[in-house]
Structure 1
Amino acid sequence: KRIVVRGIFHYGWTRFIRTLLENGIYEAEPVEINGVTVSPFEVVMKHIKRQAVEQWEDPYRLAEKLGFNPQCILSVEITGYKNGMGKRTVYHSQLPYPFFDGKPVTCCMEYGTYVGVACSISLQMLAHGEIPEKGAVTIEMTAVSPKKYLDEYAKRGARLIIQKFIKGASIMEDKPAIPPSTKEYRSWSLQP
């Protein structure tokens, strides 16, 4: 089986991260400037934070001005074969807008709601003794029922959309939700 997790970021953000990566900023060794050792990464991050504070705009007002509500959708795609039949399932998780129950936010971090909500659910389950494993583990590697975990997500307003596709089906009821990155997906159709 193959599992792909997708989170989509604004193009400007991915271009920025790629620029940093291609220029080696994440691996750059500290350098000495005027007798002081500084980390190139820290210098860049401090500059970015200063610029962000100066140019920050409330995301809710920005959404109104642009005329749309932001969507924050995380997708997980599972592809494999069962009884010789190609199967592909895509799960889309969508959190409600406005983010943070409409409370003021200090930065535009709607994607962060996925991290925060998942962390909150995990910590609450841990506090109630529902996660028996000890040490650093991912929730997927615990004895926690995926249904229970997703039910907790739903209690917090998340919607889970499931699409199932089969390979080589003669009837195309729908196209895959996410544009295919390979020609292979052209032979997949939504499973009835």
Structure 2
Amino acid sequence: MGKGRVLIIGAGAQGGPCVSILARDKDISEVVLADLDIDLANKVKAKVKNDKLKTMRVDASDVESIVKAAEGVDVIINLTLTEFNSNIMQAALRCGAHYVDTSFGEGSSSDIRTTDNILAQMMENRPLSFDKEYKEAGLTALLGCGASPGTVNALARYMCDKLDSVDEIRIRVGRRPLASSGEVVKGWAPTWSPFRALWGYAVEPTIFEDGKYKKYPIYSKCEDYEFPAPIGTIPLVYHQHQEPISLPYFIGKGIKYCDFKYTIDKEVGTLIKTGLSSSEPVEVKGVKVAPRDVLLKIVPRPGDMFLTEDEKTASLPLKVAAGCVVEVTGAKSGQKVEYKASFPIVLYSSPEERLELYRRFGATNIYVCLPAVVGAKMCMAGDAEKGVIGSECLDPIKFLEMMAQSGWPLKFAETCSKEVCITP
């Protein structure tokens, strides 16, 4: 693979760290950071201080604006809202560039089948949008290559590849505060796109059960799940995510059940139950306004973290422990087998590791954008299938090897249990 040129769309919580990673990558010759907020993009550029980087103002709602920014690039990494995915995919096709995102599906509605989006197409087992066009162009559109979906899918595929058939895939993501904030009442402070975080909690989750996609009420099927220390046992509930839809679609192997459970966020849950996630306008003093718009206007922007962090902040004690466990059950050579893999979802588990991460990449909040960079480099190197694919379609060994080559190998604990019967 020669030196690549990359366009990043979105200068927010993951855009800045993504630029910082690519600016240090010897395989990348140029990075274009594009955002509607050019001032934010320029602040990122000033923080990174690298000659590879240039910024552009781009309106992701306008395909022509994206095409102009994408001229001559090898890959577009989409780190903006999912409502713009289709526009960016179209622009990538027109420019002969690969496409990578970290989230996909319905852009704004609480009904994930309300529009003809890729998640709906998977659930209805229909051809995926742009798949034919990307294949004909010899290009890859890589969907959901962040942390979850992304790294989680690669680990699931890694374990599924060891089995002849797969019965169940269960994904558990949990977080626990390590110290009291001292606040009696806390506000909601999302660590990624506030809209997508709110959307994920407010939408009724879809689970793959008995070979079919089924919808459940929000905050349902609560269970106490035990994570490795220091997280311990915490309650989890069903949560809307792409994995229960995409893993059965792409992996197959007879999967009968696939779910995703996540930590209960009481702060955002209260807001949703109060009606503040609604997009239906209400009249306030003669003015019609959507409650969701008000909430998203006043919630803190997570993008500021990259601009303000330094070695001092990176070495502070951890406030939260966050982990992920992927469980896969199936059969191998007639034996029932269960694999389990666990890892720190944010890619570090101590202040020392976080400081090392900052020194390596110039950022610590990289758990979403680093997998996206790895996926983009696999596309450019020809190590990804052509067409529209999920991160579970990548060779998981190559994916993990490239994570290591990036300077930060994924450290995960893997266990295997088998049903054994010894007879004379």
Q: TM-score, normalised by structure 2?
A: 0.31
Give the structure 1 partner of residue 416 of structure 2. 164
CA deviation map 1:64-110 (0-9, x unaligned) = 665x58654332111234455432111123424216822676xxxx6
Unaligned runs of 5+ in 1: 170-192
State how many pairs are aligned.
156
Give distance in 1, aligned partners of 2:420 and 2:372: 39
Assess if the C-alpha contact under 8 Å between 2:400 and 2:409 holds in 1: no
Assess if the C-alpha contact under 8 Å between 2:328 and 2:339 holds in 1: yes
Give the structure 2 partner of residue 151 of structure 1. 401
Amino acid of the residue matched to residue 116 of structure 1? C
Amino acid of the residue matched to residue 380 of structure 2? A
Give distance in 2, aligned partners of 1:82 and 1:76: 18
1:21 positional shift:
3.4
Give the structure 1 partner of residue 357 of structure 2. 101
Identify which of 172, 175, 181 aligns with 1:9. Answer: 175
* SS class of match (2:367): helix
Give the structure 2 partner of residue 122 of structure 1. 375
Give the structure 2 partner of residue 173 of structure 1. none
Matches within 5 A, 1:52-131: 66=317, 71-82=321-332, 85-94=335-344, 95-96=347-348, 97-98=353-354, 101-102=357-358, 113-131=366-384
Tell me: CA distance 1:102–1:39, structure 2 relative to 1, closer, same or farther (3 Å): same
Identify which of 281, 288, 291 aligns with 1:40. Answer: 291
* SS class of match (1:6): strand
Amino acid of the residue matched to residue 170 of structure 2? V
Assess if the C-alpha contact under 8 Å between 2:275 and 2:291 holds in 1: no
Assess if the C-alpha contact under 8 Å between 1:86 and 1:167 holds in 2: yes
Assess if the C-alpha contact under 8 Å between 2:174 and 2:324 holds in 1: yes
Give the structure 2 partner of residue 22 of structure 1. 273
Structure having the larger proportion of residues in helix: 1
* SS class of match (1:9): strand
1:24 positional shift:
3.9
Identify which of 292, 300, 317 aligns with 1:49. Answer: 300
Amino acid of the residue matched to residue 6 of structure 1? R
1:168 positional shift:
7.4
Give the structure 1 partner of residue 211 of structure 2. none
CA deviation map 1:29-73 (0-9, x unaligned) = 1223344432211212232217xx8xxx9698678665x586543
* SS class of match (1:42): helix
Tell me: CA distance 1:98–1:147, structure 2 relative to 1, closer, same or farther (3 Å): same
Tell me: CA distance 1:24–1:34, structure 2 relative to 1, closer, same or farther (3 Å): closer
* SS class of match (1:163): strand
Unaligned runs of 5+ in 2: 1-166, 178-185, 189-264
Assess if the C-alpha contact under 8 Å between 1:32 and 1:38 holds in 2: yes
Assess if the C-alpha contact under 8 Å between 1:78 and 1:90 holds in 2: yes
Tell me: CA distance 1:59–1:166, structure 2 relative to 1, closer, same or farther (3 Å): farther
Give the structure 2 partner of residue 175 of structure 1. none
Tell me: CA distance 1:81–1:70, structure 2 relative to 1, closer, same or farther (3 Å): same
1:148 positional shift:
0.7
RMSD over aligned Cα atoms: 3.7
1:115 positional shift:
1.8
Give distance in 1, aligned partners of 2:298 and 2:385: 43
Question: How many percent of aligned residue pairs carry the same amino acid?
Answer: 22
* SS class of match (1:86): strand
Tell me: CA distance 1:99–1:92, structure 2 relative to 1, closer, same or farther (3 Å): farther
Amino acid of the residue matched to residue 172 of structure 2? R
Assess if the C-alpha contact under 8 Å between 1:77 and 1:89 holds in 2: yes
